[in-house]
Chains A and B, each alone.
Chain A
């Protein structure tokens, strides 16, 4: 069963920030939140992950709420190349290293 809920699709104007939400209300204390994206016909690309603190890298920022029941992936200046399906994944405690992908959010960046 999917442990995360994401909107199926979102649009964003080129150059603007893209804010992708994810709900994970059943997350437990030792579970990480991972974000991957998949550009058409390519393998999933790692973006960022976090446990409880906000994280930032060269690709994006991850904001996790204090109760850890939701998070937001922020692409600060979206480009056309950021058009992709974005997956928010919470590790399944019983599944070791397995990543369980839900439906993701299809982000369309428009000129």
Chain B
């Protein structure tokens, strides 16, 4: 049973460029969330996708956008990259958008390390 998979694992971009990160949820899961984790800090929620729509959003600017495909996989796009966007980007999947309320589990991938220079 494949867990949450993310690609690429590492990448380097230049300020002002755009980046796309990809995530495949755990088998059987239909809800995907994205988190940003700066060095030395805990993960911060970016947004959540369910049924191909953004359902929740954290305190992140519109430069951060996403997409969910019919097979439940997801992309995170960041435009006009800033040095401060350098972080580990984590994808998490769950069975339903309200998994936590029902005491279900959210699983994380290993993340994509983004360095902006």
Stretch from B11-19, B73-81, B99-107 forming part of the interface with A: B99-107
With contacts A32-B103, A103-B42 taken as known, whether A97 is within 8 angstroms of B110 at the C-beta atoms is: no
8 A Cβ contacts from B30-57 to A: 31, 33, 42-45, 48, 55-56
Q: Could you tell me how many residues of chain B have their Cβ less than 8 Å away from some Cβ of chain A?
A: 29
Task: Report B-chain residues with C-beta under 8 Å of the C-beta of A96.
Answer: 48, 55-56, 97-98, 100-101
A101 to B40 CA separation, bound complex (whole angstroms): 12
Residues of B within 8 A of A87 (CB): 42
Within 8 A of B (CB), among A51-106: 51, 87, 91, 95-104
In the complex, B94 has a CB within 8 A of chain A: yes
- Which residues of chain A have C-beta atoms less than 8 A from B106's C-beta? 46, 97, 99
Picked from A42, A45, A97, the residue with its CB within 8 Å of the CB of B98 is A97
Contacts A97-B97, A98-B56; A42 near B111 (Cβ below 8 A): yes
By the criterion CB–CB under 8 Å, are A34 and B100 in contact?
A: yes
Q: How far is the CA of A77 from the CA of B4 in the complex (A)?
A: 28
Q: Does A21 contact B (CB under 8 A)?
A: no
Q: Is the CB of A101 within 8 A of B42?
A: yes
- Most chain A CB atoms below 10 A, which of B31, B88, B100, B107: B100
Chain A residues lying within 8 Å of B97, measured Cβ to Cβ, are 96-97
- Which residues from A are CB-within-8-Å of B103? 32, 49, 51
Encoded as 1 (CB less than 8 Å from any A CB) or 0, chain B from 81 to 113 comes to 000000010101010011111010111111101
Q: List 22 interface pairs A-B (beta carbons < 8 Å), by A numbering.
A: A34-B100, A36-B108, A43-B4, A43-B90, A43-B108, A43-B110, A45-B108, A46-B105, A46-B108, A91-B100, A95-B45, A96-B55, A97-B33, A97-B48, A97-B56, A97-B106, A98-B48, A98-B100, A99-B106, A100-B45, A102-B42, A104-B42
